[in-house]
Structures are given as structure tokens and as C-alpha cells.
Amino acid sequence: MNNISFNDLFQKLKGYSEQDVSLIRRAYDYACDMHKGQYRQSGEEYITHPLNVACILADMHADADTICAGLLHDTLEDTIATKEELAKLFNSSIANLVDGVTKISKMNFSSKKEQNAANTRKIITSITNDVRIIIIKLADRLHNMRTLEFKSEYKQKENAIETMEIFVPLAYYIGAYRIKSELEDISFKYLKPDIYKRLSDKKAKVEEENKELLEEIEFKIKRILSNKNIPNEIKIRTKNIYGIYKRINEGHKLSNIHDLLSLKIMVDEIDNCYITLGLVHSLYKPIYAKFKDYICNPKTNMYMSLHTTLMVDNDKLVQTQIRTFDMDKIASFGLPAYWEVYGKDARISMQEDLHKKYQFFDSLIKMNSMFSDNELFVSQVKNEIFTDKVYVYISNGERIELPKGSTIMDLAYKLGRDIGDTIVYAYANDTMVGLDYVLNNNDRIKVVTDEMSLGPKSNLQARTSYAKMMILRNKNDWDK
């Protein structure tokens, strides 16, 4: 671990321009200079930390400015460097990113409740200024979690809880599944070491027992795809320990490989995903109810893939995901990879319409404007955004994300204030329902509005604070 050098980062910069690489090299040299003589608790030179953060960012396909800011992220706080100097030596975008990350972490060490809430709010809302700040913060947190063994037990638990509460949901919302899984597993290992150990042993056992079977499936699929000249890569994917733990907690039994392992097939283009699906189904029968097309209808965090569950070898079930190489990059690393795949301009337009593409940002912006009290804001974000979700379809086929327990009223206000204010009833899967109907996953909802309606009279059946507040406001208007 001790011997990471610039070359490790350099190896990850193959897709970057010469200009980008030289900018990153300059940022590295400067950070080295600034952190000279500083050491981490592990005894390593301090520079190993920003260097590791930059490596994570390069893996995520972040842009050059973000990688530079990753290298420089601790210079404002821990060295004599200033924002003005960073702007002059590099550029103003890098200086702003480093400044943003610094502002977030400055108060991390305070244990006062209100200060913690203020800081948590800053972490969460910094996304709305430049989402790259949170991406750097995620990489920073990931490396700190990887090296958590050098901290006190108290600090380990505290960091693990904070990671689960704030950084895991953030990783999910930007669609960075690989980062999310790793953060979950490291946190879980520190929070429940015994269960973690037991589950990883069990996982290793099931992996071993089914190794041959999965290799055979992989071989057969590979052969049929190669015969059709479809460029492909197949991976046997193990689920993360925390995910397995959650399933057991929900009452599932760990009996099938299906619960622990899955097959990931990557091909070159979208058309070939569907051809592959047909070919795979010709080899193994699919379970109808388990098929999902997240390519035509991506998840609200832009995740795309085809999911099918195959019956193999005497009713064993194997979950299978089929996607393009680009989709896989996006599913692993989220937004930064999305920007890379869709070109540089995507970064500018995405920051502008993040709230349209990723529904989470819209909820966040609304909530930020609704609560001035920091503690209330943080508890509401945890309660409504960083919580279990329900997903429903509206008339145009769009998937809408709401906190679990939401009703037709919440959905109506999520779709727009005018819709909430004039809704009279709705259809759920073609059955007429009232405004207090609690949404279930995959419900098809059609809302019916009437301009003459005065809207919901009581907010008791609303789950989200936005709907509650809007209904209350209307009620106050009448009472005047």
C-alpha cells in the first residue's frame, strides 16, 4: 500500500489528452510540494491520500479539472496554499472545486449537533452548485474508509455510520453502484464485524460450490455470442455482503446462487443487447415475471441494463444482466462516466438540468428551499430522500420516484403544483382510487384533475413535506 506513485495514476489516464495529463502532473507536483513533511496516521506520506483520491476519480472517468482538484483537495485546509494561488496556477474551476470540498470538510471534526447538521446540509446542497464537489468528496470518503483501520474504534464506527447515512445514498443517486457497494461493505464490516464475517464465509462457500456450473454457463453463452460475431465480455458478479444482509433481514432465505451471484454480459451496442437476450433465452428458459428492460426505461439514476432470470440445471436460478460496455461504465461510476460517454458538452448541460435527468436533485432543491433550520432539513432529507423508495409509472410511461409510503397526493404535487392543487382522484392500474391511496411499486397511475377543484383539504394523508406544505398553504388561503 505504501508504494503508490504518480505512475499508478498515469496508467489510468490513457483516455485523457496530453494537455490534461500535463495539467494533472502539475497539480500532483504542487500537492507534493505543499504536503511535504506531512504524514497520515498510517505512517505514510500525506501525498498518498490525495493521490489515491485522484486514482479513484480517474477510475470514475472524471474530467481533468476534477482529478486535479482531487490531488489538491486538502491543500487549502492543511497547507499555506490559497484559493487565489490555485486559480492563478491552474484555473478558476479547479480553485472553486477545491474551495467547495474544503468548505464541506472544515467542520467535520465538530461534535456539536447543530454544527454537524449545518455541515451535512453543506455536503448535500453543494451538489446543486457543482455536482463534481460531491464526486470528489465521495472519492475522498472511499479512500478514508479503505484506510479506516488506522483510526480509533470510536472514529471507525462514527465514520461508518456517517458513510451509510450520507455517502451511500449519494453514490446511489449519482448511479455509482461500484462505489456504493464498496462503501456499504466497508461500513458494514466496522459496524457488525461478526455478521460480516459469517456472511462472507457463506458467500465464499456458495461461490465455490457453484463455480463449475457458472463457468459452464459462461462458456456456453460466450460460444453462442462469438458464433454470431457479437463482441462481448462476461463476468460472474458476486453481490456485496451488505446487500445479502439486507435481503436476509427482509425475510429471504439464502438458498440459491441467485441470491449471491449473478452473470453480467457486456456487448458493444444496444441492438446487440436484445439479440443477446434472445440467444441467452434460447439456451436457458427465462422466468417471465423477473424480466426488466431498464434500457428503454432507465432507472431514475440513469442505470440502464436488461435483467432476466434464467432457469439452469434443475431449477437453480441465475440472475443475468445484459448491457453495453458504456452502460456498464455508467452503472459502475455514475455521473462522471455518463459525462464521459456522452461527451464534454454533457457536463455543462447536465449540471443545468440535473433536476430533470436525476429526480433526486429536484427533490433536494425543493427541500433546500423549504427548510431554513439545518437540523430539520437534515432529518427531512434522511426521512424522505435518503430512505426507501417507491417507483410508479405515469401516463407517458415515465417512472416517478417517491419515498415509500407516499400517496396519490404526494405524486400529484411531485408532478407539479398545479396538478396537486386541482387533483380530484386517480386511477391505479385502471381502478379508481382516492387521494389517500398508498402507492405500490410499479403501479400505473393516471391522475385526474379538475380546474374547478379546490385541491386536497387535509394534508394528513400526504407523506412528503412538499405536498404537506402546499396543502397547508392552500388551506390557509381559504381560511383568510
Rounded distance between C-alpha atoms, residue 166 and residue 21, angstroms:
32
Environment class of residue 209 by beta-carbon count within 10 Å: exposed (0-12), middle (13-18) or buried (19+)?
exposed
Q: Determine the longest span between alpha carbons in the chain, in angstroms.
A: 75
CB 73, min distance to Mn ion, A = 6
Residue 255's CB is within 10 A of a number of other CB atoms, namely 10
Instruction: Give 46 or 413: the residue with its C-beta nearer to Mn ion.
Output: 46
Return the C-alpha cell found at 152: 480509533
Least CB distance from residue 60 to Mn ion, whole Å? 16
Bridge partners of 447? 426
Q: How far is the CB of 132 from Mn ion (least distance, A)?
A: 15
Is 65 labeled as catalytic in the residue annotation? no
Residue 191 and residue 157 in contact, taking contact as beta carbons nearer than 8 Å: yes
Contact 48, 71 (CB under 8 A): no
Considering the complex, state which of residue 145 and residue 470 has its C-beta at the smaller distance from Mn ion. Answer: 145
DSSP 8-state class, residue 291: -
Q: Which is nearer to Mn ion, 163 or 210 (CB)?
A: 163
Q: Which residues bind Mn ion (CB under 5 A)?
A: 74, 140
Say which of 29, 78, 84, 233 is annotated catalytic.
78
CA distance readout (Å), 456 to 148, 176, 297, 407, 471: 50, 38, 31, 12, 6
Active site residue 208: no
Instruction: Pick between residue 66 and residue 272 the one whose CB is nearest to Mn ion.
Output: 66
CB closer to Mn ion, 74 vs 130:
74
CB of 375 to Mn ion, least distance (A): 26
Query: Which of these is catalytic: 45, 77, 268, 362?
Result: 77
Shortest distance in whole angstroms from residue 122 CB to Mn ion: 16
* Beta carbon nearer to Mn ion, 140 or 384: 140
Which secondary-structure segment (H or E) carries 450?
Answer: none
Long-range contacts of 412-416 (CB under 8 A, 24+ apart): 412/447, 412/449, 412/467, 413/462, 413/464, 413/466, 413/467, 413/470, 414/464, 414/466, 414/467, 415/447
Distance of CA 181 to the CA centre of its chain: 9
Q: How far is the CB of 352 from Mn ion (least distance, A)?
A: 29
Chain residue at closest Cβ approach to Mn ion: 140
C-alpha cell at 398: 415515465
Report the catalytic residues: 77-78
